[in-house]
Structure 1
């Protein structure tokens, strides 16, 4: 006699804890690989521009993708905030307002965390380094930095994070319109990759800087969603008691 099937199907939220460790393994591996590619890749970009970061002031890279891209991300966040606040007390909108609030929190925390790390790691941009048009020696992460070299802030990549932060939209759509979750994830990854490549072409970041930003953004997105799911489960238990 076959075992009775459970009356409670496994929801996507219950499978989420596995996303973080598996994803982080791939991200850490990618970051380690990127570290070995940083110098050759940046050198190739530098030489392709005539041994100078001639695209540093490019209209497309500097104005459209750098300044404009950051503005688009900020406007998107403000638009989601306005829509969430407007519909917050409407019963028919409860299905998406709480996931939207978690999305807003994840994007905000991701960009803030990257900004804090930039201010504390004190790593140089490629354009500051000897061999890439600058004068400073390369000081790796976790290595003591001499005080005379100053306190630059180029790691992780903040501009890439303004795109990668939107990988959190995967979880928003997971809870509201699951069939769109992978499209949303691809959109966040694409935005971060485009913003990151634009900065690499300008000499502002190494490849590993962008991957580190993605790691921060994905970790925070998973963490915020897990906390939200835990709180929802706790509310449900309290409502039944």
Structure 2
């Protein structure tokens, strides 16, 4: 099964662009954050809550890393057993998850964009400590698994939508968690998801499409 790569790029990109125009250009980010902040009582009451901080933030990150290590271990087994059916798809998955989170982390390290909790509007101290909050790093630990769609497209085509659902669900779970903590605006998550999808699609064209497979083992 060969998907329409052009459509898989432009359709998500168009949706992302439309969302960002509303979130950033029309103030949607603040509209959402204002309501979350008010719902939590005029403070980020969930910032250090055990569910949002200890479980979904800290342990959620650990779970994503553990899943990546399991994928890497499965790749090693496939290489040792000389299993061509799984070797390239697993190599793709390991590379895509690492590259997606790496690109987001690199962009975040240079970004001057603030977190909501940095802003005076939400009880912060203005822009004095602001920065390094865009795109959403924690959400990327979930959205990076969008690569499961392309991996399963090759090894189990009927399961590809389950792979997509896993990536979307994890990204939303981690992203909403961080928004509830005041760590990110929604646009940060949208951009992180777009980056992860684009990286996954790009590596798919290089590693898993029939033309790419035909050039190697």
TM over 0.5: yes
Q: Secondary structure at the match of 1:213?
A: helix
Question: Within 5 Å, which residues of 2 pair with 1:8-87?
Answer: 11-13=1-3, 15-35=4-24, 36-87=27-78
Is the CA contact 2:78–2:86 (under 8 Å) kept in the aligned structure 1?
no
Is the CA contact 1:53–1:127 (under 8 Å) kept in the aligned structure 2?
yes
Change (3 A) 1:197 1:151: closer
Cα distance in 1 between the residues matched to 2:13 and 2:154:
22
- The residue number in structure 2 matching 1:124 is 114
- Which of residues 84, 91, 96 is equivalent to 1:106? 96
- The residue number in structure 1 matching 2:215 is 234
Question: 1:151 Cα shift?
Answer: 6.0
TM-score by length of 2: 0.93
Q: Secondary structure at the match of 2:121?
A: coil
Bigger CA drift: 200-209 or 81-90? Answer: 81-90
Moved over 4 A (4+): none
- The CA deviation string for residues 176-197 of structure 1, in whole angstroms up to 9 with x for no partner, is 0001101110110010001000
Question: What is the aligned residue count?
Answer: 213
Is the CA contact 1:66–1:198 (under 8 Å) kept in the aligned structure 2?
yes
CA RMSD of aligned residues (A): 1.5
Cα distance in 2 between the residues matched to 1:185 and 1:34:
24
Cα distance in 1 between the residues matched to 2:90 and 2:180:
34
Matched, 1:223 2:202: yes
Cα distance in 1 between the residues matched to 2:184 and 2:101:
16
- The residue number in structure 2 matching 1:165 is 144
- The CA deviation string for residues 49-86 of structure 1, in whole angstroms up to 9 with x for no partner, is 11111111110000110001100100000001001111
TM-score by length of 1: 0.84
Cα distance in 2 between the residues matched to 1:173 and 1:33:
33
- The CA deviation string for residues 119-160 of structure 1, in whole angstroms up to 9 with x for no partner, is 1112110000011011215xxxxxxxxxxx456210000000
Where does structure 2 lack aligned partners over 5 or more consecutive residues? Answer: none
